[in-house]
């Protein structure tokens, strides 16, 4: 059976590469697939694809549990403790008074655009996220008009 599977090695590697988009992982998954399907009497491409897909899911679960030392490198950057002033403390208190959903959406907007948030989290609508961010920022920072006026002054009358 392995000889028949090996004839289409490039095809199986292509399947694996399409699933995981990483050549080294695709090669490992293909080798594991051979070990798993070695005892089968008849193997169809659909079975091979399902086997590769499940191997990829296993790999994702395994990597989710691993914590690399590199992930903790940010600790050194923020090891210095900075004293916050009254204005910053007031902003933090107002932020923590927001509903947790609104806090999470605001945090997501630091790393992603609203469109990316909608693509990555289909349960969050673009208009809903936009409204939550605007309302949250208004509650935390006060009126946006005050903010725009400060920007106008600093930019010579332009927003």
Examine residue 50 and state whether it is found in any structural domain, yes or no.
yes
Distance between CA atoms of residues 79 and 122, nearest Å: 36
Q: At what angle do helices 126-141 and 100-111 cross, to 10 degrees?
A: 100
Instruction: Render 88-134 in DSSP notation, one character per residue.
Output: HHHHHHHHHHS-HHHHHHHHHHHHS-HHHHHHH-TTS-HHHHHHHHH
Examine residue 71 and state whether it is found in any structural domain, yes or no.
no
- Residue 39 sits in the same domain as residue 9: yes
- Residue 48 sits in the same domain as residue 94: no
Which tokens in the block code for residue 88?
């910053």
Examine residue 76 and state whether it is found in any structural domain, yes or no.
no
Helix (H) or strand (E) holding 55: helix 45-65
User: How many domains does the structure of the chain reveal?
Assistant: 2
pLDDT in tens, 10-62: 999 998 988 888 888 899 999 999 999 988 888 888 999 999 999 998 988 88
| pLDDT for position 141 | 82
* Per-residue CA distances from 65 to 51, 54, 60, 89, 120 (Å): 22, 17, 9, 35, 21
Examine residue 55 and state whether it is found in any structural domain, yes or no.
yes
pLDDT in tens, 133-152: 889 888 888 755 555 555 55
| pLDDT for position 3 | 84
Examine residue 127 and state whether it is found in any structural domain, yes or no.
yes
Q: Which domain holds residue 55?
A: 2-65
Examine residue 72 and state whether it is found in any structural domain, yes or no.
no
Structure pTM?
A: 0.43
**Exposure pattern of 60-79 as b/e (b: 16+ CB <10 Å)?**
eeeeeeeeeeeeeeeeeeee
């Amino acid at each position: 059976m392995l000889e028949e599977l090996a004839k289409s090695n490039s095809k199986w590697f292509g399947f694996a590469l399409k699933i995981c988009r990483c050549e080294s992982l695709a090669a490992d998954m293909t080798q594991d697939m051979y070990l798993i399907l070695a005892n089968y009497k008849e193997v169809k491409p659909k079975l091979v694809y399902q086997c590769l897909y499940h191997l990829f899911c296993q790999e994702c679960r395994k990597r989710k549990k691993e914590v690399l030392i590199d992930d903790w490198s940010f600790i050194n950057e923020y090891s210095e403790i900075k004293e916050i002033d009254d204005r910053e403390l007031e902003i933090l208190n107002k932020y923590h008074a927001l509903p947790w959903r609104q806090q999470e959406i605001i945090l997501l907007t630091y790393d992603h655009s609203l469109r990316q948030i909608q693509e990555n989290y289909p349960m969050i609508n673009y208009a809903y996220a936009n409204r939550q961010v605007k309302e949250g920022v208004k509650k935390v920072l006060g009126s946006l008009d005050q903010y725009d006026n400060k920007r106008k002054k600093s930019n010579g009358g332009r927003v």
